[in-house]
Amino acid sequence: MIPMSFINPLSDEGKQIVREDGGDLDRIFDENDDIIDAVNSITAQEISDDAYIPKSYVDLVIKRVEWYVDKKSDPKYNHKKYAFLFYPEIAKFDVIAFYILCQAIGIKYGPNSRESRAVSELQGQIIENRLEELYERDRLEIVDKIMNILIVQDRIKWTSLADLLSSKKINLQDLVLKDGNVILDREDFMEYFKDVVKLQQPERMYNVFIGNRIKELIMIKMIMQNTENYIKNVHEIAGREVEPNATLLKIAEEVADALSKEIRYYGGGDSGGEVKASPLNIEKFPPCIRKSLDGIKSGGRNEVIVLFLTPFLSYARLYPSVFSRNTTLKVSDVDADLKITQNEILPMIYDAADRCSPPLFDDQPQEKININAKLGFGMNDNLNLQHEGETTWYTPMSCEKVKLNMPNLCRPDKTCKGITNPLSYYNRKMREK
Amino acid sequence: MEFFKQATPEERKIYYREEWDVNQVPNFILGQLENREFGFDHFGRGPNDRYKTFNSPEYLKRFMRSKTPFAAYCSVAFYEKPRKREGWMHAELVFDVDAKDIPIRTCNCDNVCEICLNEAKEIVGNIIDTLKSDLGLKNIHLSYSGRGYHIRVLDESVMEMDSDVRSQVLKYVVGADVPNDKYENRGQIYTLRPYSIPFGYPKVFTDRIKYSILHLTKDSKIEGISKNLLNKTLENRKFIEENQWGDFLNKLDPNHPKTGARNYNKLINSIASLNMSLVDGKVSIDLKRILRLPSSLHSKVSMRCTEVKNIDTFDPFKDAVPKFVWERKD
């Protein structure tokens, strides 16, 4: 039987393991024969190098992270090298490694960090891979068992999944809904939809469309959310302590090092090397920006020029890597005398405003002040370094927000696939050269 | 008699002093009046008199009668201190369908007319159906805004939701995203087009696409759809009317098993983008929006913003025209 903690380390069973075996932080760097034996006992793996075997709890923590990074970014990724992560023989050790990882990240980086998001995503992917290795019957059984505990009530209301929806871990459109309930159960499906499914066998439709797919999806996302909640708790408790645990801080740094190989992948589908500040290349702009530069002929001129175009052009010119770096900058950090802003960025914004119908500043001259505000220079007539910081330099709007606020602008092309921010599109194109 | 003509200051006075009654303000607003922010437009230049509060209907009544505003609004949000817009408690989930902005209209009017107002009503009816049947929401109110409709959801289970979730609900009910059509089961990939899935979001999407295609005219201009594809769509939409989507697809892309469903995909992708404009998305995701106060006068068009009790029988040209309009001499 598959241990529940192997899929959900935050289950009672998982907590019990930590209580019994995970207490001694001083020994987690030590070589542990039990871990080595458990890994060696798994046959479905390729251990051509001794270094592939985790020898301590901390080693196991780092292996988890390395797997996640390699799988995502190494073109020569070899699954067999990490196969031990997906077999229940290591369940007990893996649970402890999970807690060490979460505690280290919670203490050092906190809940809203990239590292925290990576740990939650890593956990989700480990669960997915583990489920794939199971026999169908075991898979159905374990998912049912875990879901029964995670979901207290018989039927799940979609409104109870608001956190998951908000964090975009699931999308409302992925759920099959009826009267507000998320339909997961076969009998419920048959009761509601048997009569309307005409082109296919209802049974087959259930298996294809819902089956275990949505159930697993929800379960994985709930565990990911719980992982984030756990990291948050650790962070809050650590904040009340005089001195954070040095061992965990050290592990957190090692984890961050391992993740840094991959960290550039954050920031909305923006992958590859960092794009440096350089003159704007209109050819590389996404369709929505090109359309905005042509001027807006109907409503929504202010939003497009002030809220959409101004942040995009300023960041694309001055700080295109804003999403892949963890640092907030001011315009003057890059453009000390504001010459680039005055001579390159503002003229482009003003030209687009003039191409609007009617020209934006003809009837709304105050929007020039709003543009200055969005660049971080407060509600002032001119860009003046003394006023910098009175307002925030707005970051470019995401594709999601563009679709909602200015649906007419979004006409995606092939490059838009997988892109979540127009700036990421620009960076991707700039890297192509 | 001319509809949609701006009301004069004199007509506003007549309306608020002789016709308007504070009891026409719906209970869902009067019931928690003290937690809402009110905003007013006195000169027809936008609601710049904001942060107003009223502790009782009597105060609201006195204010309206003395100021006879050009337009009156109240917040969708409830605040502990509405005068400062502080202590946000929760907010109605709102869908704003403006007949003037519907992307596919069968009329060619410049502003709004009976035809597009009816089309707005149909769209509103479809959205409300989905809110009830799929999302299971209750406490849904509808008001005629003067040029369209506001759907106002006061179901407690959604009132605390953030903008991200509201945007997902919006996209769900308007059918703004083309559903995934590849499904994996036991290692096999199945392709299921939305029209072959009669439940969940694919069903909503199919219904919305159907509505839009059936309302296209030969003059419709849709980005991404050529004149040729538009004509082909119009010629064959009888199949959709009878829900024969497979036949429709065959007509649009006769060799689709070999060459792919290029025309079909182009059509549904373009219409999905267009569906996003059925509702003003900004209103739905704004947690602090102010909306026209039902019962107040939309002075720009001389129509009464009215709570709609029965969508099937509601007729704005009977139920939302103030008396002074009928009495106009010109």
Give residue A262's pLDDT. Answer: 53
Give residue A408's pLDDT. Answer: 81
Contact B282 A404 (CB under 8 A): yes
Q: Report domain B1-162+287-330's class.
A: alpha beta
- Give me the helices (H) in A74-150, please: 91-108, 114-133, 136-150
A102 marked among binding-site residues: no
DSSP structural state of residue A375: B
A399 marked among binding-site residues: yes
Q: Which of A135, A156, A158 to mutate to test the interface with B (most CBs of B within 10 A)?
A: A158
Give residue B108's pLDDT. Answer: 79
Q: How far apart are CA B222 and CA A117, in angstroms?
A: 40
Q: How far apart are CA B302 and CA B146, in angstroms?
A: 8
Q: How far apart are CA A112 and CA A322, in angstroms?
A: 17
B164, B199, B284: residue with CB nearest A176? B199
| pLDDT bucket at A264, cuts 50 / 70 / 90 | very low
What's the mean pLDDT when you consider all of chain A?
Answer: 86
Q: Is the pLDDT of residue A119 over 60?
A: yes
Tell me which residues of chain B have a pLDDT lower than 70: 1-2, 186-187, 330
Residues spanned by CATH 3.90.920.10 within chain B?
1-162+287-330
Sign for the pseudo-dihedral over CA of B86, B88, B89, B95: positive
Asked if B259 and B207 count as a contact pair (C-beta separation under 8 A), the reply is no
Q: Which residue has the tokens 């999905």?
A: B272
Give the sheet arrangement for strand B93-98, strand by strand.
B93-98, B148-153, B140-144, B306-308
Over residues A164-170, the mean pLDDT reads: 79
If 0-12 CB within 10 Å is exposed, 13-18 middle and 19+ buried, where does residue A227 land?
A: buried
Q: Which of A201, A209, A294, A304 to mutate to test the interface with B (most CBs of B within 10 A)?
A: A209
Is residue B317 less than 8 Å (CB to CB) from chain A?
A: no
> CB count, 10 Å around CB of B271?
25
Give residue B257's pLDDT. Answer: 84
Contact B196 A158 (CB under 8 A): no
Contact A173 B177 (CB under 8 A): yes
Q: Determine whether B164 is an active site residue.
A: no
Q: What is the ipTM of this complex?
A: 0.92
Percent of chain A with pLDDT over 70: 93
Looking at B214-325, which runs of residues are DSSP E strands? Answer: 290-292, 297-298, 303-304, 306-308
Q: Which of B104, B165, B166 to mutate to test the interface with A (most CBs of A within 10 A)?
A: B165
Q: Does domain B182-277 have CATH number 1.10.8?
A: yes
Asked if A96 and A22 count as a contact pair (C-beta separation under 8 A), the reply is yes
Please provide the DSSP assignment of A301-342 as one string.
Answer: HHIIIIIIIHHHHHHHHH-TTTTTS-----HHHHSTTSHHII
Percent of chain A with pLDDT over 90: 42
* Residue, of A167 and A344, whose pLDDT is higher: A344
Contact B201 A172 (CB under 8 A): yes
Give residue A188's pLDDT. Answer: 87
Q: Give the helix, strand, coil percentages of chain B, each rounded to 5.
A: 45, 20, 35
Is residue B257 less than 8 Å (CB to CB) from chain A?
A: no
pLDDT digits (tens, 9 = 90+) for A122-144: 999 999 999 999 988 899 889 98
Cβ contacts of A363 within 8 Å, gap of 6 or more: none
Give residue A112's pLDDT. Answer: 78
User: Could you tell me how many residues make up chain B?
Assistant: 330
Q: Is the peptide bond before A358 cis (omega within 30 degrees of 0)?
A: yes
> CB count, 10 Å around CB of A194?
12
Q: How far apart are CA A418 and CA A427, in angstroms?
A: 13
Asked if A84 and A45 count as a contact pair (C-beta separation under 8 A), the reply is yes
Range of weakest confidence among A100-104, A293-297, B269-273: A293-297
DSSP structural state of residue B321: -
Give residue A267's pLDDT. Answer: 36
DSSP-based three-state secondary structure for B203: helix
> CB count, 10 Å around CB of B216?
18
Please provide the DSSP assignment of A91-109 as one string.
Answer: HHHHHHHHHHHHHHHHHHT
User: Could you tell me how many residues make up chain A?
Assistant: 433
Contact A404 B276 (CB under 8 A): yes
pLDDT digits (tens, 9 = 90+) for A179-208: 999 998 888 899 999 888 877 788 888 888
Give residue B266's pLDDT. Answer: 93
* Residue, of A320 and B181, whose pLDDT is higher: A320
Angle formed by the axes of helices A114-133 and A136-150, nearest 10°: 140
Q: Is the pLDDT of residue A263 over 50?
A: no
Q: Is the pLDDT of residue A178 over 60?
A: yes
pLDDT digits (tens, 9 = 90+) for A198-242: 777 888 888 888 877 778 888 998 899 899 999 999 999 988 877
pLDDT digits (tens, 9 = 90+) for B111-156: 889 999 999 999 999 999 999 999 999 999 999 999 999 999 999 9
Bridge partners of A113, per DSSP, are: none
- Both tokens of residue A79? 């699954």
Contact A173 B171 (CB under 8 A): yes
Q: Is the pLDDT of residue A48 over 80?
A: no
Bridge partners of B91, per DSSP, are: B77
Sign for the pseudo-dihedral over CA of A292, A399, A303, A404: positive
Give residue A352's pLDDT. Answer: 92
Q: How far apart are CA A20 and CA A152, in angstroms?
A: 27
Distances (CA, A) of A419 to A213, A276, B172, B277: 25, 19, 21, 22
Is residue A400 less than 8 Å (CB to CB) from chain B?
A: yes
DSSP-based three-state secondary structure for A292: helix
Domain ranges for chain A: 4-265, 282-432
Q: How far apart are CA A54 and CA A49, in angstroms?
A: 11
User: Which residues of chain B does A411 touch, with a Cβ-Cβ cutoff of 8 Å?
Assistant: 223-224, 273
